[in-house]
Chain A
Amino acid sequence: DAMVIQNPRYQVTQFGKPVTLSCSQTLNHNVMYWYQQKSSQAPKLLFHYYDKDFNNEADTPDNFQSRRPNTSFCFLDIRSPGLGDAAMYLCATSGGRKNEQFFGPGTRLTVL
């Protein structure tokens, strides 16, 4: 089945220790997104790629970076995680005729 895969599902890191979250897709969609979601809040868009074109949201902290080496993979790098960065990180893709968006299962990040 075509899908969006995220690894790891759970990540524990220490305050200030860099962490990388990964996402891959088999949907062959042009667009990939990273969202941050905290408890009882809607997903908040951090950035997205349209093919190789990177689009950063204005309020995304510099602490968050992303890479998309090819169509299938996208990475989220958090350079110096703070306690406030503990959240669920969701990867999504969109494309196809209906331009629908599909999410991976998320990576839950804990910062100690």
Chain B
Amino acid sequence: RKEVEQDPGPFNVPEGATVAFNCTYSNSASQSFFWYRQDCRKEPKLLMSVYSSGNEDGRFTAQLNRASQYISLLIRDSKLSDSATYLCVVTPYGQNFVFGPGTRLSVLP
């Protein structure tokens, strides 16, 4: 089993839609959790850290379920500019950041 798994995608959604991404991780001792977005041929950029209490930043909501070892990202009212690959990242130990394979999102006009 891979350390971090994500929905395989791609997701093609119309503008204004709500889309949810799922991520699971295998190491129950994992400490920190993040969502990154990566545009084509660019570097990953931190979208948001994920906290146990859940957190929201504008149209983006992240949830963490430690018991199920599951992380989610919800994007409401999706925009064309949200088109990117979304990477789930977990720190299972030390300073290692383990990336999931990513889920590609295309928001269509």
Contacts and interface: CB of A to CB of B under 8 A. Distances in A.
A105 B42 contact: yes
B45 A103 contact: yes
A65 B74 CA distance: 40
A100 B34 contact: yes
Chain B interface residue number, banded: 20 to 34
Interface residues of A, number: 23
A76 B100 CA distance: 24
A76 B102 CA distance: 25
B43 A104 contact: yes
A92 B98 CA distance: 13
B44 interface: yes
A94 B95 contact: yes
Given A90-B43, A94-B95, A100-B49, A42 B101 contact: yes
Interface in B34-89: 34, 41-46, 49, 87, 89
B91 interface: yes
Contacts of B94: 50
A101 interface: yes
Given A42-B99, A99-B32, A101-B97, 12 more contacts: A33-B97, A41-B101, A42-B100, A42-B101, A42-B102, A43-B99, A90-B43, A92-B97, A94-B95, A94-B97, A101-B34, A102-B46
9 contacts: A33-B97, A90-B44, A92-B97, A94-B97, A99-B32, A101-B89, A101-B97, A104-B43, A106-B43
